[in-house]
């Protein structure tokens, strides 16, 4: 068996070409597109554990590259040097380089050619908030559309671009339940920014594939694992795509006959259209594998209902599970959700454990130190 520590195992620089078996829309009728993917690991001998992630190496969309080339004023047939290779610019843009998401360093390099006073001002340290506002919803093409006379050569253009970074996805399956397969739960990034339709490179790359092979590799995460003692209760909080690793956790707990109790909090926009893996949770509940299920639908009523509200509603019981040694997991959005869930834990400690704010903070820290509060947030 090859594992990620095996030097011959597929890796970021030597990805495995995995056959895409299933690409299924899970949110029919929703204004949000979340997809379930199943990839084959047959013959790769790759093994993962619940809690690990999969790295995917996407290519850029040909249409996006054509639009960019037109904006830059190049044809794509120019020969350029990328690393050791002499290839056409179009090949480089499709297969090797990141050419959409903007960075400050890229704007700086671009302005060495464009010499724009506006960009120069935005790049001043004092204007960092204005730069963030400017970059929001803009991509590289927008620089060339706004400052069209940069007169850049094909090789200098390549010099503005960094190698295409892989994207990580939390694995949504257990090998015990799906031998030689890896499943993912992906929110497809689609938005309109400054009048142009934008799409996320990797999520739309995956969404648009059927029967293709996907270059990927395993990215282990030793800090997000099921408890070694399978009788330990677990509490999982995973709204949106944060649900992914918990599908893997429950599959594994079922397959191994783990006796520990399982509690899942899931939330998304609407129960009718965004209940990811809903039939599976209902059936696990019936079978007594999922002992508690807290659901938060944020757009099914006027006021927002989020997973942390459901946690607080069940504060007494949650406190009792934690006192019985439960491990608390959270996965999904790092910017707001994970912070609010953290605050909810503190509130529960204050309300149910009769602690003051400071003691509740120390209690949460201790939980983390004991590795009973684990996060997979992005």
Ligand X SMILES: NC(=O)c1ccc[n+]([C@@H]2O[C@H](COP(=O)([O-])OP(=O)(O)OC[C@H]3O[C@@H](n4cnc5c(N)ncnc54)[C@H](OP(=O)(O)O)[C@@H]3O)[C@@H](O)[C@H]2O)c1
DSSP for residue 237: E
How many residues contact ligand X, by CB under 6 A? 24
For residue 302, what are the contacts with CB-CB under 8 A and spacing of at least 6? none
Select the binding partner of residue 148 from ligand FAD, ligand X, none (C-beta < 5 to 8 A, by kind): none
Counting contacts by CB under 6 A, is residue 239 touching ligand X? yes
Select the binding partner of residue 269 from ligand FAD, ligand X, none (C-beta < 5 to 8 A, by kind): ligand X
CB 252, min distance to ligand X, A: 22
Binding mask 253-282 for ligand X (x = CB under 6 A): --------------xxx-------------
Beta strands in 123-223 (DSSP E): 167-170, 181-187, 190-193, 196-199, 213-219
Counting contacts by CB under 6 A, is residue 174 touching ligand FAD? no
CB nearer to ligand X: pick between 74 and 188: 188
Select the binding partner of residue 201 from ligand X, ligand FAD, none (C-beta < 5 to 8 A, by kind): ligand FAD
Cβ–Cβ < 8 Å for 210, 38: no
One residue of 54, 72, 206, 307 binding ligand X per CB under 6 A: 307
User: What is the edge-to-edge ordering of all strands in the sheet holding 292-297?
Assistant: 292-297, 262-268, 234-237, 327-332, 373-377
Q: Does residue 80 sit in helix, strand or coil?
A: strand
One residue of 201, 235, 237, 264 binding ligand FAD per CB under 6 A: 201
One residue of 20, 71, 101, 289 binding ligand FAD per CB under 6 A: 101
Counting contacts by CB under 6 A, is residue 161 touching ligand FAD? no
Question: What is the maximum span of the chain, computed from C-alpha positions, in angstroms?
Answer: 69
Helix intervals (H) in 31-178: 62-72, 89-95, 104-114, 117-122, 128-135, 140-146, 154-159
Interface positions, 106-125, toward ligand FAD (CB under 6 A): none
Q: Which single residue brings its beta carbon nearest to ligand X?
A: 240
Q: Tell me the residue length of the chain.
A: 378
Select the binding partner of residue 267 from ligand X, ligand FAD, none (C-beta < 5 to 8 A, by kind): ligand X
User: Which region, judged by CB under 6 A, interacts with ligand X, from 117-125, 150-158, 223-231, 330-338?
Assistant: 330-338
Nearest to 157 by CA among 173, 140, 145, 169: 140
Buried b or exposed e, range 210-231, using 16+ CB within 10 angstroms = eeeebbbbbbbbeebbbbeeee
How many residues contact ligand FAD, by CB under 6 A? 22
User: Which region, judged by CB under 6 A, interacts with ligand FAD, from 72-80, 167-175, 287-295, 349-357?
Assistant: 167-175
d(CA 312, CA 309): 5
Interface positions, 4-63, toward ligand X (CB under 6 A): 32, 34
Q: How far is CA 68 from CA 71, 94, 209, in A?
A: 5, 11, 22
Interface positions, 90-129, toward ligand X (CB under 6 A): none
Select the binding partner of residue 299 from ligand FAD, ligand X, none (C-beta < 5 to 8 A, by kind): ligand X
For residue 361, what are the contacts with CB-CB under 8 A and spacing of at least 6? 346
Q: Which residues bind ligand X (CB under 6 A)?
A: 32, 34, 187, 189-191, 239-242, 267-269, 298-299, 304, 306-308, 332-333, 336-337, 340
């Amino acid at each position: 068996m090859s594992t990620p520590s095996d030097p011959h195992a597929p890796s970021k620089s030597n990805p495995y070409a995995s056959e895409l078996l299933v690409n299924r829309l899970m949110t029919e009728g929703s204004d949000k597109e979340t997809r379930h993917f199943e990839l084959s690991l047959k013959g790769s001998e790759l093994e993962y554990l619940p809690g690990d992630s999969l790295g995917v190496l996407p290519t850029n969309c040909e249409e996006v590259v054509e639009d960019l080339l037109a904006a830059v004023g190049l044809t794509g047939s120019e020969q350029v040097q990328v690393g050791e290779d002499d290839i056409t610019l179009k090949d480089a843009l499709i297969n090797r380089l990141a050419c959409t998401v903007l960075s400050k360093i890229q704007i700086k390099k671009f302005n060495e050619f464009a010499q724009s006073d506006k960009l120069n001002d935005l790049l001043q340290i004092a204007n960092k908030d204005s730069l963030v506002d400017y970059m929001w919803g803009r991509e590289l093409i927008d620089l060339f559309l706004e400052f069209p006379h940069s007169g850049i050569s094909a090789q200098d253009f390549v010099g503005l671009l960094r190698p295409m970074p892989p994207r990580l996805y939390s694995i949504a399956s257990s090998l015990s339940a799906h031998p030689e397969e890896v499943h993912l739960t992906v929110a497809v990034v689609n938005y309109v920014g400054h009048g142009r339709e934008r799409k996320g490179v990797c999520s739309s790359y995956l969404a648009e594939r059927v029967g293709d092979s996907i270059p990927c590799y395993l990215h282990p995460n030793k800090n997000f694992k099921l408890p070694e003692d399978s009788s330990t209760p677990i509490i999982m909080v995973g709204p949106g795509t944060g649900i992914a690793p918990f599908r893997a956790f429950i599959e594994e707990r079922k397959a191994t006959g783990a006796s520990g109790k399982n509690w899942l909090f899931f939330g998304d926009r609407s129960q009718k259209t965004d209940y990811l893996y809903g039939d599976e949770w209902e059936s696990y509940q019936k079978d007594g594998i999922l002992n508690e299920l807290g659901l938060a639908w944020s757009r099914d009523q006027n006021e927002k209902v989020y997973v942390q509200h459901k946690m607080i509603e069940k504060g007494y019981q949650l406190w009792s599970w934690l006192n019985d040694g439960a491990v608390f997991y959270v996965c999904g959005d790092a910017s707001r959700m994970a912070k609010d869930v953290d605050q909810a834990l503190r509130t529960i400690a204050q309300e149910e454990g009769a602690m003051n704010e400071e003691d509740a903070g120390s209690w949460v820290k201790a939980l983390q130190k004991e590795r009973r509060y684990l996060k997979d947030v992005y």
